[in-house]
Amino acid sequence: MRNPAELAVPSIQNQAIVQEGTIWMPIPPSLPNYPPGLQYLTQIDQILIHQQIELLEILTCFETNNKYEIKNTLGQRVYFAAEDTDCCTRNCCGPSRPFTMRIIDNLGHEVITLRRPLRCSLCCFPCCLQEIEVQAPPGTPVGYVVQNWHACLPKFTIQDDKRTDILKITGPCVACSCCDDVNFEVKSVGETATVGRISKQWTGFLKEAFTDADNFGITFPMDLDVKMKAVMIGACFLIDFMFFEHGGDN
């Protein structure tokens, strides 16, 4: 019998490809020594992540699998991302839930997989902090995002596949979106230079109040290793679930 997660992949691929009116980013040529599907990231230094509004959630408050469009600054879709968790996990664990996020390219191939294990989200338990593993291609870890304990600031470390620290992320003392963007600064390991940013974008009062569909922007150096760009995408999803899902961990 096939794993339920494997059975979910075709439906996610169909959702990514079938949507009418979608303008995809042109497929760049394959590059040697790059994980398949990550060649898109060699051509961009900024991406936009738009969570799709789910009517069922608005009408019933029933938590459904989150879905996202990942676009470049021209509005072309680079990837489609879809959460793959069961109903019980989503509605019992809420934003603290473990999840698998499958990221699909415009050929319908799953090119990045994000896995968040179940961890206690209370700040008084610094031995059990949040983490997400980034795989590209699926099954091959290329990096991790690890929460660092701090009394008042959201802090994370971006690591490569060998668990070597590559970048740091620091958020504001109060990660609250109220009429303004919320910025998480991406810094060098020594935190002496800012090299990028993950921003939760203000989408207007009505959308913020009545949906949990969030918009994010990510900036990074053009010449940053594409694997680390993929890990920054993973960091964005972890930040979304921790701080901006309704009933979030903050």
Helix (H, G, I), strand (E, B) or coil at 203: coil
Query: Residue 122 — very low, low, confident or very high, per pLDDT cuts 50/70/90?
Result: low
Q: Is the pLDDT of residue 135 over 90?
A: yes
Distances (CA, A) of 76 to 20, 73, 132, 173: 13, 7, 27, 34
All structural domains of the chain, each given as residue ranges with its CATH number in brackets, are 4-244 (3.20.90)
Q: Which residues sit opposite 197 in a β-bridge?
A: 185, 219
Label residue 126 left, alpha or beta by phi (over 0 means left) and psi (-120 to 50 means alpha): alpha
User: 16: closest CA among 108, 112, 136?
Assistant: 108
DSSP state string for 44-103: -SEEEEEEPP-HHHHHH------EEEEE-TTS-EEEEEEE---HHHHHHHGGG--EEEEE
**Is the CB of residue 127 less than 8 Å from the CB of residue 133?**
no
12 versus 233: the higher-pLDDT residue is 233
Q: Could you tell me whether strands 215-219 and 194-201 are parallel, antiparallel, or unpaired per DSSP bridges?
A: antiparallel
Q: What is the pLDDT of residue 118?
A: 82
Q: Is the pLDDT of residue 2 over 50?
A: no
Tokens for 62, please give them.
Answer: 């029933």
Which residues lie below 8 Å from residue 76, measured CB to CB, with a gap of 6+? 23, 24, 25, 26
pLDDT in tens, 195-245: 999 999 875 544 444 445 579 999 999 999 999 999 999 999 999 998 887
Q: What is the pLDDT of residue 224?
A: 96
Q: How far apart are CA 92 and CA 63, in angstroms?
A: 9
pLDDT in tens, 239-249: 999 888 764 44
Q: What is the pLDDT of residue 22?
A: 80
Helix (H) or strand (E) holding 205: helix 205-210
Range with lowest mean pLDDT among 17-26, 31-40, 185-194: 17-26
Q: What is the pLDDT of residue 211?
A: 44
Region 162-173 average pLDDT: 95
